[in-house]
Structure formats: C-alpha cells, structure tokens
Amino acid sequence: MRIALAQVNPTVGDLEGNARLILDWTDRARERGADLVCFPELAITGYPPEDLVLKPSFVRDNLAQLERIAKAVKDIAVIVGFVDQEGDIFNAAALVCDGEVKTVYHKVFLPNYGVFDEKRYFAPGHAAPIVDFGGARLGLSVCEDVWFPAGPLAWEADHGAQVLININGSPYHYGKRAPREAMIGGRAADYGAYIAWVNTVGGQDELVFDGNSVVFDPRGKVIARAASFDEELLVCDVPTGPPHRPTEKLRREAEAAEGLELEVSELDVPAPSVGAKPPLERRLATPLEGAAEIYAAVVLGTRDYMHKQGFQKAVIGMSGGADSALTAAIACDALGPENVIGVRMTSRYTSTESVEDAGMTAEYLGMQLMDFSIEPPHEAFEKIVSPVFAGTKPGVAEENVQPRIRSTILHALSNKFGYIVLSTGNKSELATGYGTLYGDIAGGYAVLKDITKTTVYELCRYRNTLGPAIPERVITKPPSAELKPGQKDTDSLPPYEQLDPILIGYIEDDLSPEELVSNGHDPKVVARVIQLVDRSEYKRRQAPPGVKITPRAFGRDRRMPIVNRYSPNGGRPG
C-alpha cells in the first residue's frame, strides 16, 4: 500500500482555502500513485481554531467543506481532520473516498495543558473504526491519542489494525522532535504495527508547527521522514502482509485500554486501482537541530504571522545592537529584504559605533534604512515636564521618554504605509521588565519574545554562517540601551550568562529559589531575578505576540495573575 502524508500549511478559519489546499495535495498524491493520503489534525479549519468552534455557523461551514472534499475525491482515499457535530462537538478525522465519507473517528484524549485548551471545545470520542483497505487493516487516531500507551492505538492494534494513522497539529518547541519520535517509534514496536504520523507545518499566532512527519515500521524503525518547517508530500510504501506483533506487550496495553470503552467497528473500503507502481526511493530527510532548528522556526512563524494577515512589509527600529540586528535578519529571510525597512533614530546618547553597526547590518542584509533624530521631540518633552520634574533626581522616567518617542515614529510609519512594527525585545528583557511600556515593548509582533539574550547571540553567529548579516562588533560589544551616558545592561541586570539560566529554571522549570541556589546560583542574584520577574507581569500582558520556541513561553503557556501577592521569596512580589 502506498501512503502519502500531506504535511501542509493551512490557515485558521480559511475553510474554502483549506479545502482547495486539501484537494490540490490530494491530486499530487494521486499523481504519485498513492492509495491513501493523510492530512493533519483539523486541516479543514486550521489548528487551533479556538473559539471559532463555539460559532455554530463555523462548524456548519466546516462540515460543508468536508462534504465538498468527499464529493471531489476519486481514485484515492483521503484521511482529513475536521470538526464534527453529533450532539456534541468533536475533534475528528474522516476517511473519504468514492465521493462520500466512509467513516469518522473522534479524538479520545483531549489535551488541556500548556498551549492546549481542547476540553473547552470538544467532547471525547468513544469509537474505534477499523478499516479493511486493500488488504491492510487501518486504525485511525488524532494527535494526543498516540501519547498514551494504553490508548486507542493499542486497542486498534489488538483488534488487528496493521497500519495506525495518527494525524497531528503538534506545536514546536526546541528539542521536542527527538523525544516525540522516540515515543512514536516505541508505540510502533510495542504494538507491532506501522505508524504513519503526519503533522501540520506553519505559524499560527504564537505557535509554529515543525512538520517532521514520519513513518515507523513494526519494529520502531523510521522508514520515511519529511523535512523540518517545510510543506512536503511524504510518500511511502507500506507492506500489507502480516506484521511482527509483540503480543504480550500489546495484550497488557490493550487490557488497560478497555477502560476507555471504545466501540470497535469494522468497515471494508476497496483500495483504488492505480495500476503498477514504480518503486519509491526512500525519503529520510535530515531534521534540523540546534540553532538551525530555532532559526527556521522563528523565520517561519514570522512569515506566516504576516502573510496570513495580509501584511507585506515590516518596519524595525535599528539600534545597532544584537537584538535589532537579529530581528532584521529574521525579517529579511522571512519576507525578503525588499520588504523590510530599518529605522535609525539617534539621540544625544547614541554612539558612533551603534550608528555604524546599524548601517552595516542593513547593508549586509540589503534592506532599506531610514534616519530620524529624536532630539527635537526629546527636547520638547523635557521642556513640557520640566515644571513638574523640577527638583527631582533624573532617572527612569526621563530615560523612557526616548523609547516612547521612537515607538511613536515607528507606529506613524506603520499607520501611514501599512507596515507592521516588529519589536526587538528578547525573553530575558521581557522576563525582567527591562523594557519600556509603550516604547520598545510595543509593536505588532515580537520576533524574539521567547528567545533569551544568550540564545540571541547564538542565533546571530548561526545566521552569519549562512552569509554576512550581523557585524562581529554587534555580537561582541557590551549591550546597552543608550538612554544615558555610559549605560550598560549590567547596570540594571546580572550578566546574561548568569541571568538566563536562572530565568530558564524559574520560568520554564518552575524551580523554587532553594532549588535554583542548590544548582549553584548566587542566593542574592536568585532573589533579585525572581523579584524582577514577578513584578513585571503587567508589562508582559501588554506585549505583542511572538513565536513560541521554548517549552514554557510567555503568553499562551505561562499565565500568571497580574494581581498576585504570592512570592517564592517570601512576602509580596516587588
């Protein structure tokens, strides 16, 4: 049997466009001689559709598109994700061929952690259809169902399913692919079945999906893999003979799955007759790892956030520092340098080196660069507030006037010409509140929102391996906001090599102060960092969305109350 995994990039809510996408890729699969093509989870609606599912008209329209797809499908079978309605609402997979929907599977396990909120929308399924398809017995499942060893896949395999199809919308974070593949391969070996695992690809708001669709044989060996972060039709031949089946392990898992009360149904669907097929060359894409993986994720997330909303051009404040340089490089790679406008906005505190570095970055990348001086409005604001500020010591209030002026210029360009403002702050700054509300924090999209400062430097060096982009001095000079004479980030924050491991431990791993100290961090630094993080929640709530690349990103992942008197340091935060 020839199976195609359509690793496609649908758009949430574009029901007609997604249906066209599905039919187009179905035609491609048919041309490749596939008997069956599998599309990702909720491919018709896009994933995740969130509260669109609560609109009855949305559910009806998505069902109409499923019917449209079914009527158009000929000489091939299609498995596609959609929202089903049978009294309750279900996250579902349909098998269609010969002009009709043959059977439907409802997702059993509904994730409700991290970025997932599926119990808000869907009811769990209780049916396990097994399809006899051209001599092979197929079992269907959706995403989370494969993560449970005593789950629907074990039940289907125990009832004779030889090929287990699992359709997914599995969001990316760095380092996720390898353990995910190890888990899926383990399931294939435990059940003695082939597993065809198809994932979506692309960006949706703060999420990005990495693709990396894969097929495992009954011994848990990868026999086909699609690319990372690219659309692809992965085609693989799967033998239809009886597989090796480790019956004892499967029996134990299937017995445990009895508690799910899944009702097995049997369905015979003749496979299309497509004639003789030339042998396939095995496709085993090399997955991206490390900095290359993170960089590709952020480029894809940025590109899709803009293009799916209809933005063509982006504007970026170019300070001459690493954050704005990396943001510019990502934007140029995502959109093309002709669609990126950099803006230098010098003040009395801007160094000659910063001016030169911003200019050299723009030259390397081939992007447009505009220049403004913020001195006239800066002086005007000083004059306006001087009667009230008289007799006080200059401090943060005076400094923050400057980034707010710069933000006003960027957003004026955005309003006038339809650009989107890409803010340049990183996760280390956002975590500690080291940014100006309505100043450098403001923007339409925060490209580096989930990237710590130390990772910013790592990505800068990686990007330079692809071609000149970021001057070496930008990477090596001490970072500074340049809002007062001689200012350095270390005036307000611990050095980033000390700060970032504490932030990762506290934010991503939920470590206590005692655990952080036991890991070798200075107790005073730990207490200070936790205080900065906890009292900056109100700023983060007002930050723009940005690409999620860590297991615990601000926004969809980590949701803390703004009004909050708990502090692990003891007493009130801040």
Which of these is catalytic: 38, 97, 143, 236? Answer: 143
Same domain (yes/no): 337, 198: no
Same domain (yes/no): 326, 219: no
CA distances from 69 to 19, 28, 97, 147, 486 (A): 7, 15, 9, 29, 64
Which of these is catalytic: 107, 427, 449, 453? Answer: 107
For residue 571, what pLDDT is reported? 54
For residue 214, what pLDDT is reported? 98
For residue 245, what pLDDT is reported? 66
Reported in sequence order, the residue ranges of 339-489 that DSSP labels E, i.e. its strands, are: 340-346, 368-373, 420-423, 445-446
For residue 246, what pLDDT is reported? 63
Tell me the angle at which helices 352-365 and 322-335 cross, rounded to the nearest 10 degrees. Answer: 20
Residue 549, in any domain of the structure:
no
Same domain (yes/no): 38, 174: yes
Residue 540, in any domain of the structure:
no
* Low pLDDT (below 50) residues in the chain: 572-574
Distance CA 404, CA 442 (A): 9
pTM listed for this prediction = 0.92
For residue 574, what pLDDT is reported? 45
> Which domain range does residue 362 map to?
290-484
Same domain (yes/no): 184, 238: yes
* Last residue in a domain, options 457, 484, 511: 484
Same domain (yes/no): 243, 310: no
Residue 29 sits in a domain whose CATH number is 3.60.110.10
Which of these is catalytic: 41, 253, 293, 429? Answer: 41
Catalytic-residue membership of 232: no
Q: How far is CA 402 from the centre of its chain?
A: 33
Same domain (yes/no): 127, 15: yes
Same domain (yes/no): 371, 453: yes
Residue 128, in any domain of the structure:
yes
Q: Which of 108, 168, 102, 106 is nearest to 131 (CA)?
A: 102
Same domain (yes/no): 238, 176: yes
Same domain (yes/no): 298, 208: no
* Last residue in a domain, options 454, 484, 514: 484
Residue 250, in any domain of the structure:
yes
What is the DSSP code string of 171-196? B--TT-HHHHHHHHHHHHHHHTSEEE
Same domain (yes/no): 27, 127: yes
Catalytic-residue membership of 181: no
Residue 544, in any domain of the structure:
no
Distance CA 532, CA 545 (A): 21
Residue 520, in any domain of the structure:
no
For residue 215, what pLDDT is reported? 97
Distance CA 482, CA 146 (A): 51
Residue 143, in any domain of the structure:
yes
Same domain (yes/no): 138, 68: yes
For residue 573, what pLDDT is reported? 46
The count of structural domains within the chain is 2
- φ and ψ at 444, to 5 degrees? -90, -30
Q: Which of 316, 159, 163, 182 is nearest to 253 (CA)?
A: 159
Same domain (yes/no): 91, 147: yes
Catalytic-residue membership of 41: yes
Residue 555, in any domain of the structure:
no
Residue 395 sits in a domain whose CATH number is 3.40.50.620
